Structure 1
Amino acid sequence: PQVCQPPLHALLAVPPVELREADLRLVWISHIHADHHAGLPSVLAARQQVLGEGCPPMVVVGPRPLQYFMRRWAQMQPLQYRFVDARETAEGGMQARAGRFIGNAAHAGRGVVDMALSAMRPPDPANKEAVDAAAAALGLEELQSVEVVHCAHSFALKVRHAAGWSLVYSGDTRPCKRLSDAARDATVLIHEATFDDGMLEEATAKKHSMTKEAVQIGEDAGVYRTILTHFSQRYPKIPVIEEISAPRVGIAFDLMSVNFADLPELPHLLPALQVMFADENLAAEAETDETTLFSAEP
């Protein structure tokens, strides 16, 4: 039978970005680096402007240092939000994480153990109620933060929808077992691929992943589609994609929007993306060569 495929222009269409503030229910932040959290106050302020005086607090789930950032910002600009420590949404909650910390700190100073014990305080039940209500409004049956290997207080996110699909977002991380376990049989894994293959030393030092590592995590976990993102600034739009041959992999680019119904076609877009951004990639390579040439001059 003939299969009707959606036209390429429909799959690659980039609609204007419209912030639908009134529809926002929850914001989740992976870690405290400016490219991940610095825009949050602007989003909350825009939402308050739309909803007016009756604006309910936005549920913000994130690492503990984010709370300090938001408190300082609120001194300049009042914002309506309810902060929930990401550890409260992790498997086992804050107590489980603190228990692991204490076990690993057996030979550490008393101050380190005391800090871990302080994290075992009972979480606020209202936080769980707020997260559960926001998740239910989004049709989610599960929302779980997963500790990963990057800077302190770094997390990945796993969500499972009532319709049956699941999505895992890696945040920034080195490959790690907790993330691989969370991604098992997921519908979509959005995984960072900061470094080219062969740049293991740099990836390890900066606690990021290489392209082949991100692809392998998706393959090993049996993920239906892996979407690579968070590429190094050395690329104008997308990374070198000739080496990516995995049949389940897609590439993200700025303002890209993917409908779940189009996931079967996603890997087939790689050749089109390569052609689409060929001129920009060549221009970037030429600029790099020119910079290298000038820097080599006495």
Structure 2
Amino acid sequence: MLTVIFLGTAGSLPTPERSPSAVLINREGELLLFDCGEGTQRQMMRAKTGMMSLDTIFITHHHADHILGIPGLLETMAFQGRRDPVTIAGPPRTSEVVELFGRLCYYSRKFPVRALELEPGDVLRRDGYEIEAVRTSHSIPSLGYCLREDTRPGRFNRERASALGIPPGPLFGRLQRGGAVEVGGRTVRPEEVMGPPRPGRKIVYTGDTRPTPEVEEASRGADLLIHDGSLDDGMADWAAETMHTTAGEAARLAERAGARRLVLTHISSRYSDDVGPLLADARKHFPSVQIAEDLLKIEVKLRDL
């Protein structure tokens, strides 16, 4: 299971329909939060995600609409009796932000909150996957993140194994785990009965940014690219001035990277009544695109190729 839940999809200003930026990934029950705008804890409650298994909050940058939900989320965890530590990872000065939040929540917590400052290219290794910090381009120091699962073994060919004289049972399992077996005086190696390795899943989340070569490279073959798509192409000059991305620019990047699916988020409040211009601009360049809405859930499936 790998589910992406869009808790907040607004641009710099929230609207009645859109909360500030926050994206939650549920991987096999492990929760990873990317940005934490104001009201994120309430959005988690509405999405019925739980929050006690959340151990890391990844911040793209320190603008208020991406971090102001952290104190309230930590306080709710404290009220619920949390004891396990929480890590807040982000660009330089994340330690200062965590210290400030500590002052706001003075004495109310019984669990440690740790700061982890990252640079582009830093990789956090987890069980079965890794998260890489990706260089982005915004008006203050910023990062995107690439979640990349480990490569999976190929499919086991039972017919081929039986033809080689291997009896069903423990020897099948040993081959599937990468070990050779001895049968009938010969050695059977895993590559004789296993198909080619299969890719894990890849999700890229950019936060606020201009299109960058680093994001494009990280997004190569991504199952899901979640990109800043704040403005339509008619506002390209304003997007460049404010260090955001138009829908068409994000779609062209997704097309060049060979991403499988694009979701645009951080939607400007000027599109509160109609996101059609964003969708139209993006679809000129990339067909598999949608505009994120609050509480949208996307299940990212495993694939063989």
CA deviation map 1:139-191 (0-9, x unaligned):
4x211111211022200000112461000001110011111111111111000
Separation of aligned partners in 1, 2:76 and 2:207: 24
Give the aligned residue type for 2:280.
E
The residue matched to 1:84 in structure 2 has which SS? Answer: strand
The answer on whether the counterparts of 1:22 and 1:51 sit within 8 Å (CA) in structure 2 is: no
Gap regions ≥5 residues in structure 1? 1-14, 94-127, 264-298
Give the fraction of aligned pairs with identical amino acids, expressed as a percent.
29
TM-score (norm 2): 0.62
| Structure 1: 4+ residue segments shifted above 4 A | none
Higher helix share: 1
Give the aligned residue type for 2:113.
Y
Q: 2:237 aligns to what?
A: 201
Q: 1:123 aligns to what?
A: none
| Aligned partner (choices 159, 184, 190) of residue 220 of structure 2 | 184
The residue matched to 2:105 in structure 1 has which SS? Answer: coil
Q: Which fold has the larger relative contact order, with Cα–Cα distance below 8 Å and residues 6 or more apart in sequence?
A: 2
Q: 1:16 aligns to what?
A: 46
Q: 1:151 aligns to what?
A: 139
The answer on whether the counterparts of 1:147 and 1:153 sit within 8 Å (CA) in structure 2 is: no
The answer on whether the counterparts of 1:148 and 1:178 sit within 8 Å (CA) in structure 2 is: yes
Separation of aligned partners in 2, 1:155 and 1:161: 19
Gap regions ≥5 residues in structure 2? 1-44, 153-199
Q: 1:107 aligns to what?
A: none
Structure 1 residue 42: Cα displacement? 1.4
Separation of aligned partners in 2, 1:221 and 1:242: 20
Higher strand share: 2
Residues 104-143 of structure 1 aligned to structure 2 (within 5 Å): 132=125, 135-136=126-127, 139=128, 141-143=129-131
Give the aligned residue type for 1:161.
E
After TM superposition, the structure 1 stretch with the greater mean CA deviation from structure 2, 42-51 or 235-244, is 235-244
Structure 1 residue 200: Cα displacement? 1.7
Separation of aligned partners in 2, 1:254 and 1:29: 19
CA deviation map 1:98-155 (0-9, x unaligned):
xxxxxxxxxxxxxxxxxxxxxxxxxxxxxx8xx54xx32xx4x211111211022200
The answer on whether the counterparts of 2:71 and 2:104 sit within 8 Å (CA) in structure 1 is: no
The residue matched to 1:250 in structure 2 has which SS? Answer: strand
Separation of aligned partners in 1, 2:49 and 2:89: 19
Residues 189/238 of structure 1: CA separation in 2 closer, same or farther (3 Å cut): farther
How many residues are matched? 204
Kindly report the root-mean-square deviation, in angstroms, between the aligned alpha carbons of the 2 structures.
2.4
Separation of aligned partners in 1, 2:244 and 2:264: 13
Separation of aligned partners in 1, 2:265 and 2:302: 18
Separation of aligned partners in 2, 1:165 and 1:82: 28
